[in-house]
Amino acid sequence: MKRTHTCGELRSSDLGREVCLQGWVRFSRDHGGVAFIDLADRYGITQVVFDPEDLPEGTDAESVSGAMRTFTRESVVSISGTVRERVEGTEDSRNPTGRVEVLITSAELLNRSRSPPFELGDQKEGVLPNEETRLKYRYLDLRRTEMVRSMEFRSRLVHLARQYLEKSGFLDIETPVLARTSPEGARDYIVPSRVHPGAFYALPQSPQLFKQMLMVASMDRYYQVARCFRDEDSRKDRQPEFTQLDMEMSFVDEKDIQDTVEALMAHIWMGIYSEELDIPFQRIGYREAMERFGSDKPDTRYGLEFVSLTDTVRDAPYEIFRKIISSGGIVSGINVKASLAGDRAVGRNEVDRYIQYAKKAGLGGLTWMRCEDGVLKSNITKYFTPEILEGIKRNLGAEEGDLVFLIAGPWKPTLEGGGLLRRKIAEDLDMIPEGRHSFLWIVDCPMFEIDPVSGKHDAFHHPFVLPTGPPGSENVGGACFDIVMDGNELGSGSLRIHDPAVQREVFRILGMSEEKIERDFGYFLEALSYGAPPHGGIAIGIDRFVSILLGKDTIREVIAFPKNKKAQSLLDEAPSKVDDEKLEELQIMSVAIDDFFDESDEEGE
């Protein structure tokens, strides 16, 4: 018999209906006579009851109870019966189907399940097995309601994005997964070519060049839910393969792209939360973000901002600051208000912990002062004049009991370290509002990042960003911008270079030889030379977006089959050794030592 309803469907309005349900036995409760099964599928859970005192006509009680005895946990079963109201007082208000139950008249085991390696019930928050076990049995882990909801949410979000983009004239165009290796950027995953021994494809780190060439091809507006591959070490928000909502548009400026993304986000927001999203997003310049928040992806949902004190302490007879400032460094301060700390007094022990943390965060040290009796006090205030101390106090708005930290050193590492410290303090003091989200744009980025020692230029974003001035000029900016959500980089976009001469010049500045430029990017420069329109675009990290919205700690929670920290899939045990014959065919010889593989990999060879 075919199922007539899902396990999340039946309501009081279905009373008396003859139904067939098929699903998984989540829990069963046999009371010696009356017996219950919680039958689950993706849609919900419905209670099935066997009641020997209320056997509907035509029920073969022996056969039903016999079948039910074979229903082990997580077995797939098919049951038929009549929808009836639950006995008064036994309704389950937590379950949408909780007012009804199915009085069973026939039961069939479709596929028996072995006893699962861990429990799949919902309510057991905090007793999940460790992630290793979850990933090994991911098909069971995904059966859990929480994971089903995550997958549904992700699907819904991607659908809303597609819906908006299609409506806005974007074309979904697929780009190759087998592509050319790119010389810059992350390490590539490479794929050998059988037809061309010794030559390799690379899996794309992003569809960057293809989408630009689609603009050359007059496609105007492109999008793709694109898988990207980067062979770099994992983090909780980084996987070897991940998904981007990739977009590109012709004849646009930066604001056009940002407007489009804001409207897209608003559409998604409305679709998911039935709420207007507050647009446009705040725009903060890169330098300002660094100087106020110590981050190029600041979380602005809480204060705790840095204030520059370089000028304030410039004349202080404090040798450490003097040296730093005279060599071009900065001094900046942050005020931990006494009122923020609340009950959690930030005492000497905590200050010492922050000093340790600061050192780990790359800061040379951490200076602290506390506002007591109207003045800043600490072990080093003797190196400052009362006027300078008053200046620090005023600039930071320090009041009685407040604790201020001063960081000092070269601009970037000092502010970055300060940003880590800022986040640490905010976490410790519970200042981060969970469940509230904030978007912002980081704009006005530099084109290049220059190594202070070697003078080597690196692209701040990537080499295809349109410089805002002559690429060779000092401190040239790039027409690029990041979208930041709750302190996470969600995506990054830019206008692109469409003039092949400019593109060539940028490659040169990045230190590439003419030969290398020609070999690696000749085809692309040629494409630009055939009437490439002004264009630009952005890519949004889907995994990160979904995980932030769902409040998950890692993107693995929103990826059906993620890899572990060592880039392995515990489920199918990829990567694996390949048969020698396959390698021979590809004319590949491995120099890896066999011992690298454990015994289970050696079997079957």
Partner RNA sequence: GCCCUGGUAGUGUAGCGGCCUAUCAUGAAGCCCUGUCGAGGCUUCGACACGGAUUCGAAUUCCGUCCAGGGCGCCA
CA–CA separation, 422 vs 418, rounded Å? 6
At residue 139, what are phi and psi to the nearest 5 degrees?
-65, -25
Taking CB under 7 A as the binding criterion, the range among 269-277, 340-348, 511-519, 550-558 that sits at the site for RNA is: 550-558
Beta bridge partners of 495: 536
**Closer residue to RNA (CB): 475 or 596:** 596
Taking the CB of residue 195, how many other CB atoms lie within 10 A of it? 5
CA–CA separation, 314 vs 76, rounded Å? 74
Q: Are strands 171-172 and 18-30 parallel, antiparallel or unpaired?
A: unpaired
Beta bridge partners of 108: 78
DSSP 3-state assignment of 50?
strand
Structure tokens at 5: 């309803």
Taking CB under 7 A as the binding criterion, the range among 171-179, 201-209, 335-343, 378-386 that sits at the site for RNA is: 201-209
Taking CB under 7 A as the binding criterion, the range among 44-52, 161-169, 326-334, 543-551 that sits at the site for RNA is: 44-52
Structure tokens at 367: 């200076």
Q: Is 51 in the site for RNA (CB under 7 A)?
A: yes
Q: Is 99 in the site for RNA (CB under 7 A)?
A: no
Q: Is 582 in the site for RNA (CB under 7 A)?
A: no
- Count of residues touching RNA (by CB under 7 A): 71
- Sign of the dihedral through C-alpha 501, 503, 509, 511: negative
Considering only residues 225 through 284, tell me which ones interact with RNA, judged by CB under 7 A.
230, 232-238
Contact 505, 457 (CB under 8 A): no
**Closer residue to RNA (CB): 33 or 374:** 33
**Closer residue to RNA (CB): 91 or 305:** 91
- Applying CB under 7 A, which of residues 59, 150, 208, 367 lies at the interface with RNA? 208
Q: Is 15 in the site for RNA (CB under 7 A)?
A: no
- Applying CB under 7 A, which of residues 1, 33, 194, 585 lies at the interface with RNA? 33
Give the DSSP letter string of 350-379: HHHHHHHHHHHTT-S--EEEEEETTEEEST
CA–CA separation, 114 vs 25, rounded Å? 12
Q: Is 520 in the site for RNA (CB under 7 A)?
A: no
Contact 397, 275 (CB under 8 A): no
Q: Is 323 in the site for RNA (CB under 7 A)?
A: no
Q: Is 428 in the site for RNA (CB under 7 A)?
A: no
Q: Is 124 in the site for RNA (CB under 7 A)?
A: yes
* Residue 555: CB minimum distance to RNA, A: 9
**Closer residue to RNA (CB): 103 or 266:** 103
Q: Is 41 in the site for RNA (CB under 7 A)?
A: no
Considering only residues 443 through 502, tell me which ones interact with RNA, judged by CB under 7 A.
458-463
Select from 187, 190, 200, 180 the least CA-distant residue to 231.
Answer: 187
Taking CB under 7 A as the binding criterion, the range among 131-139, 219-227, 287-295, 390-398 that sits at the site for RNA is: 131-139
Q: Is 206 in the site for RNA (CB under 7 A)?
A: yes
Contact 253, 195 (CB under 8 A): no
**Closer residue to RNA (CB): 193 or 564:** 564
